[in-house]
């Protein structure tokens, strides 16, 4: 029963998207926070930055996500201030996967996309038991079925970063139309080796 309740928490509440192309990585997420059928907050930030060139999307328990986000930032900046070379995105993803796997019997209730650009664009999908996959594109959360259908139909490896950002925006808008836990608007972030640029979008109401 306890495991089933935890899975229900993971399935509810958001839609996040990650797309990797040759010029960088796009991370996107809706802005609605839900508690069951209740809209707990309309303007939650679900795209966060560990460094200017590394970001994550968040889904799951807010407290667990805050702890993991702070931990990843501390690890990244510790390497910088101690004179080591910046930790790679792959190393951050591996560290997080090991931590989640170690605690899987008392899990952090999270679903995380970790992406950015160091030597090359990277995009990783991690779940609460430590499963890790490197992806060209993916979607998580309660609206992922609607979002992934749009992405599957239109993704190309040779897309520009702007084309990928537009695809991510439209994928989450499709979830907003059909998934009650996804809503308000979309944050879309384009991440390159030199940093990130993000925009917010809100659906136009049809009369």
Question: Which residues lie across from 163 on neighbouring strands?
Answer: none
Whether 205 is covered by a domain: the verdict is no
More confident residue, 97 or 157: 97
Instruction: Tell me if residue 182 is catalytic.
Output: no
How far apart CA 122 and CA 25 sit, in angstroms, is 7
How confident is the model over 77-91, as a mean pLDDT?
A: 87
The pLDDT of residue 3 is: 43
Whether 136 is covered by a domain: the verdict is yes
Whether 17 is covered by a domain: the verdict is yes
Number of domains in the chain: 1
Whether 63 is covered by a domain: the verdict is yes
How far apart CA 10 and CA 24 sit, in angstroms, is 28
How far apart CA 149 and CA 184 sit, in angstroms, is 21
Whether 204 is covered by a domain: the verdict is no
The total number of residues shown for the chain amounts to 207
Whether 129 is covered by a domain: the verdict is yes
Q: CATH number, domain at 75?
A: 3.60.20.10
Whether 130 is covered by a domain: the verdict is yes
Dihedral angle at the C-alpha atoms of 159, 142, 130, 75, nearest 10 degrees?
70
Question: Is the per-residue pLDDT at 113 higher than 80?
Answer: yes
The predicted-structure confidence for 9-66, as pLDDT tens digits, reads as follows 444 468 999 999 999 999 999 988 776 666 666 788 999 999 999 999 998 888 899 9
Neighbours of 109 (CB within 10 A): 17
Structure tokens given for 134: 């490197």
The pLDDT of residue 43 is: 81
Structure tokens given for 62: 């807010």
Dihedral angle at the C-alpha atoms of 47, 50, 56, 58, nearest 10 degrees?
-70
Three-class SS state of 174: helix
Neighbours of 138 (CB within 10 A): 22
Whether 203 is covered by a domain: the verdict is no
The pLDDT of residue 206 is: 53
The pLDDT of residue 134 is: 97
Q: Which domain holds residue 180?
A: 2-198
Structure tokens given for 65: 């996500």
- Catalytic entry in 14, 57, 58, 140: 14
Q: What percent of the chain has pLDDT over 90?
A: 71
How far apart CA 142 and CA 114 sit, in angstroms, is 18
The pLDDT of residue 4 is: 47
């Amino acid at each position: 029963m306890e495991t089933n309740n935890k899975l229900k928490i993971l399935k509810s509440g958001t839609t996040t998207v990650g797309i990797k192309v040759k010029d960088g990585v796009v991370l996107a997420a809706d802005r609605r926070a839900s508690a069951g059928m209740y809209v707990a907050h309309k303007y939650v930030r679900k795209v966060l930055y560990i460094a200017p060139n590394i970001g994550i999307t968040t889904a799951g328990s807010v407290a667990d996500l805050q702890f993991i986000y702070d931990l990843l930032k501390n690890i990244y900046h510790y390497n910088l201030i101690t004179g080591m070379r910046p930790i790679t995105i792959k190393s951050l993803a591996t560290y997080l996967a090991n931590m989640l796997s170690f605690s899987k019997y008392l899990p952090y209730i999270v679903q995380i996309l970790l992406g950015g650009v160091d030597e090359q664009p990277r995009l990783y999908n991690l779940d609460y038991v430590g499963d890790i996959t490197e992806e060209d594109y993916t979607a998580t959360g309660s609206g992922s079925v609607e979002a992934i259908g749009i992405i599957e139909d239109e993704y190309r490896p040779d897309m520009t970063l702007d084309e990928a950002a537009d695809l991510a925006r439209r994928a989450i808008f499709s979830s907003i139309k059909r998934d009650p836990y996804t809503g308000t608007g979309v944050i879309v972030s384009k991440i390159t080796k030199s940093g990130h640029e993000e925009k917010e979008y809100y659906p136009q109401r049809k009369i």
